[in-house]
Amino acid sequence: MSFSDLATQLADISRQCHTRGWALGTSGNFSAVVSRTPLRLAITSSGVDKGGLSPDQVLEIDEQGNAIRGSGRPSAEASIHLTVARARGAGAVLHTHSIWGTILSDAADGDGLAIEGYEMLKGLEGVETHEYREWLPILDNTQDWSAAAPQVEAVLAEHPKAHGFLIRGHGLYTWGQDLAQARRHLEILEFLFEVLGRKRGATWQR
Amino acid sequence: MSFSDLATQLADISRQCHTRGWALGTSGNFSAVVSRTPLRLAITSSGVDKGGLSPDQVLEIDEQGNAIRGSGRPSAEASIHLTVARARGAGAVLHTHSIWGTILSDAADGDGLAIEGYEMLKGLEGVETHEYREWLPILDNTQDWSAAAPQVEAVLAEHPKAHGFLIRGHGLYTWGQDLAQARRHLEILEFLFEVLGRKRGATWQR
Amino acid sequence: MSFSDLATQLADISRQCHTRGWALGTSGNFSAVVSRTPLRLAITSSGVDKGGLSPDQVLEIDEQGNAIRGSGRPSAEASIHLTVARARGAGAVLHTHSIWGTILSDAADGDGLAIEGYEMLKGLEGVETHEYREWLPILDNTQDWSAAAPQVEAVLAEHPKAHGFLIRGHGLYTWGQDLAQARRHLEILEFLFEVLGRKRGATWQR
Amino acid sequence: MSFSDLATQLADISRQCHTRGWALGTSGNFSAVVSRTPLRLAITSSGVDKGGLSPDQVLEIDEQGNAIRGSGRPSAEASIHLTVARARGAGAVLHTHSIWGTILSDAADGDGLAIEGYEMLKGLEGVETHEYREWLPILDNTQDWSAAAPQVEAVLAEHPKAHGFLIRGHGLYTWGQDLAQARRHLEILEFLFEVLGRKRGATWQR
């Protein structure tokens, strides 16, 4: 798919996520692979309103995260997108800040979140039965994601079956072979966060 | 109504359910009877995004669940749609994965969910007063619905007045004489799930 | 305003209430005064989907609740609309079935619900300060509203300042001098129900 | 930006806030600076439905809060908008009545609300890390905001880094250099209110 088509699709996804409340303010960022060798991503510009994002606010970046097309500035989290695209062979990476993702990232005990026994899990690529346990690692938040890239790589290597990960107090990263699959994973994980959150929510205290 | 008109209506219902969050990811499936003898259903294709479902993603299946029109693949749950259409004489069958349906299917004690005393119950066909107790059976989830068809039939026979049933950790099946009635039943049951869930939710633990 | 203009506005309000989840299924009904002497109401037809309601599904009824224009059937609750229009001099009466209205109608102690101290109360006609206590009477539900009309009249007379009332397990009635004011009252009361419900919800058990 | 362009943008923001449930009934008001010397604001008219607000329901007011353009009546809270525009050099001021803003304004202990440790905070102007503590002052509600202007000024002076403040039982004021920044602050703060409210909500009692 051309950069221009990917930019149009990323703009659509941005607006849909804003409508659902998963990318309010200027939060969230979304990318898709333009070429694999060398690695090039189409990625939403940093600091723009996702509710009104237009295709010309999508940049192309190289494998060092430098903008090579478009006028905005790539997000400081571009390195996470690049790391996921490389480590998972993902064709698209989506990052959201939802209410329930934020709450669960903060309230889960230990270094991950288990989701088990729901039919909805079968929408995750490679899952064939509801009798499945998805383990989403939770990483601590940082302001230097370039420096933290090896930590992201290590977590992905340690959990080869994970379909996403959470960053504490921050939100979700998920991905897929292409934008359609990544978006499916996003909707499924956000749905399951809400189910878990509403079941357990009332007993938590910050 | 022609297959083509039913396909258009099923696509509309799919998008409405996606908007309300009752069919995120690729979850949910929706069908309507094209002919009674032999039994033929128009049914949404498996694995497609319900938010962007178009009429050409609706299939026609025969009474064995084989696709006889359209290009996609029928859902593994097509046998449930066929069983309900036969056992209830339903003209349409709707299946959703909502937050509250999922939570209640999992949290209810015993093998069913009682809903009693609400005016909203009067929107269910044949219910004339709020002083009514709807009992929705809850079936255990499985990955082999063809094999489980006799169990679905038995539950429908045992509860002849039920307007739907839940599958544990999975979601709701409801139906009606036609798509309009099935959709009315869907909105009513999802509304009542949310009422029950919000009233009782905070005291549950998985 | 002509019957035709009122019918258009009632259809708009019906669709807006359906979108917000306040009139799912075929629940809710909405009316406006066409003439005062003799009393004539434009009122939504019984048993129609509020999400797709069109102006030609609005009837005109006389003061006995008989349809004198349009083809559908008036709701069994038309007598409540007529009673409110007479007792309060209301130009419009709106009835919704919301999640929080249903929960509060059921969970409130005693025969009414107090709402006090919120700035939002100032949007109710005649309220000049947030230091105000709105008392919404709660009536028991019945299936014979024609017979219950004197009870509705008595409650309205006993609570001359109330801007609405709840029916237990059923929903809200509110009204205004015209449709715009009635709709304002509706949005304010539904907002306040949600505030109260979310603050107290977790401690209730049915 | 011309008054006419600002009026169009304020109407857009009004409708968006109404859709999200942050400005139901006739609640909320929104302004933008037309000129700095002398100070002139474009501000939404008092008592109008925010869901259908059109640009011609936006007024221009002078620094005493008198309407100098347009036909409606300025809100009694126009003095708050003027005070914020002066004290913070803000180019736009947004005031909402949301469910969670109302609940938190009422339930927080003491005279303010702390929000700490969330990535979302970085969307607030000047915040560079999630390791940040936003303190939102809470003012008591009053019906005489002209008289209370010095109190608002004092609170703003005492908390020079605050990006907004709450009024008890009433709602949020936030602002920005321009409408885009103010809207970003609004979405971020409302998001964080919902996160805090859902985490703590169940244990509160009015």
Higher pLDDT, A204 or D173: D173
Place A202 in a pLDDT band, splitting at 50, 70 and 90. very low
Select from D16, D98, D191 the residue whose CB has the most chain A CBs within 10 Å, as the one to mutate to test that interface. D191
Q: Do B169 and A117 touch (CB under 8 A)?
A: yes
Q: What residue in B sits closest to A124 (Cα-Cα)?
A: B25
Sign for the pseudo-dihedral over CA of C13, C14, C18, C22: positive
Q: Identify the residue whose tokens are 């008109």.
A: B5
pLDDT computed for residue C76 by the predictor: 86
Q: What residue in B sits closest to C194 (Cα-Cα)?
A: B198
* Residue A90 confidence (pLDDT) above 70: yes
Bridge partners of D25, per DSSP, are: none
pLDDT computed for residue C204 by the predictor: 39
Name the neighbours of C, counting chains with at least 3 Cβ pairs within 8 A: B, D
CA dihedral of residues D164, D165, D166, D170 (deg, nearest 10):
-80
Q: Do B119 and C25 touch (CB under 8 A)?
A: no
pLDDT tens per residue across span C132-161: 999 999 999 999 998 999 999 999 999 999
For chain C, give the mean pLDDT: 93
CA distance D28 to chain C (A): 10
Nearest to B69 by CA among B104, B98, B45, B49: B45
CA distance B48 to chain A (A): 9
Nearest to A197 by CA among A83, A106, A75: A106
* Residue A87 confidence (pLDDT) above 80: yes
Q: Which phi and psi (to 5°) does residue C61 adopt?
A: -125, 155
The 10 Å Cβ neighbour count of residue B84 is 24
For residue A82, give the 3-state DSSP assignment.
helix
Confirm if A94 and A30 have CB atoms less than 8 A apart: yes
* Residue D201 confidence (pLDDT) above 70: no
CA distance B54 to B51: 9
pLDDT computed for residue A76 by the predictor: 87
Chain B CB contacts of C169 under 8 Å are: 117-119, 130
Nearest to A185 by CA among A73, A53, A91, A74: A91
* Residue A204 confidence (pLDDT) above 70: no
CA distance C70 to chain B (A): 21
Average pLDDT over residues A82-101: 97
Place D205 in a pLDDT band, splitting at 50, 70 and 90. very low
CA distance D37 to chain A (A): 30
Q: Do D123 and A171 touch (CB under 8 A)?
A: no
Select from C24, C139, C145, C172 the residue whose CB has the most chain B CBs within 10 Å, as the one to mutate to test that interface. C24
Place B59 in a pLDDT band, splitting at 50, 70 and 90. very high
Q: Do C195 and D26 touch (CB under 8 A)?
A: no
Chain A CB contacts of B25 under 8 Å are: 120, 123, 184-185, 187-188, 191
Chain A CB contacts of D200 under 8 Å are: 205-206
* Residue A119 confidence (pLDDT) above 90: yes
Q: So what's the ipTM on this one?
A: 0.94
What value does the CA radius of gyration of chain A take, rounded to a whole number of Å? 16
Bridge partners of D31, per DSSP, are: D43, D93
Place D203 in a pLDDT band, splitting at 50, 70 and 90. very low
Name the neighbours of D, counting chains with at least 3 Cβ pairs within 8 A: A, C
Higher pLDDT, C19 or B205: C19
Confirm if B115 and B134 have CB atoms less than 8 A apart: yes
For chain D, give the mean pLDDT: 93
Chain B CB contacts of A184 under 8 Å are: 25-26, 49
Place C110 in a pLDDT band, splitting at 50, 70 and 90. confident
Average pLDDT over residues D127-154: 95
For residue A203, give the 3-state DSSP assignment.
helix
CB proximity list for D146: less than 8 A, separation 6 or greater: D65, D76, D79
CA distance A1 to B12: 29
Chain C CB contacts of D49 under 8 Å are: 180, 183-184
pLDDT tens per residue across span D5-59: 999 999 999 999 999 999 999 899 999 999 999 999 999 999 899 999 999 999 9
Element at B134 (helix H, strand E) = strand B133-139
Chain D CB contacts of C195 under 8 Å are: 99, 102-103
CA distance D170 to chain A (A): 22
Confirm if A120 and B25 have CB atoms less than 8 A apart: yes
CA distance A156 to chain D (A): 22
CB proximity list for B182: less than 8 A, separation 6 or greater: B90, B91, B92, B93, B94, B174, B175, B176
Q: Do A169 and D117 touch (CB under 8 A)?
A: yes
pTM: 0.95
Nearest by CB to A118, from B21, B102, B143: name it.
B102
Nearest by CB to C198, from D21, D103, D167: name it.
D103
Place C203 in a pLDDT band, splitting at 50, 70 and 90. very low
Nearest by CB to C123, from D26, D202, D204: name it.
D26
pLDDT tens per residue across span C64-109: 999 999 988 998 899 999 999 999 999 999 999 999 999 999 876 6
Residues of C with CB under 8 A from a CB of B: 21, 24-27, 49, 51, 97, 99, 102-103, 106-107, 141, 143, 167, 169-171, 197, 201-206
Q: Which phi and psi (to 5°) does residue A129 adopt?
A: -150, 155
Place D86 in a pLDDT band, splitting at 50, 70 and 90. very high
Count interface pairs A-D at CB distance under 8 A.
71
Q: Which tokens go with D150?
A: 């010095």
Count interface pairs A-B at CB distance under 8 A.
69
The 10 Å Cβ neighbour count of residue D5 is 13
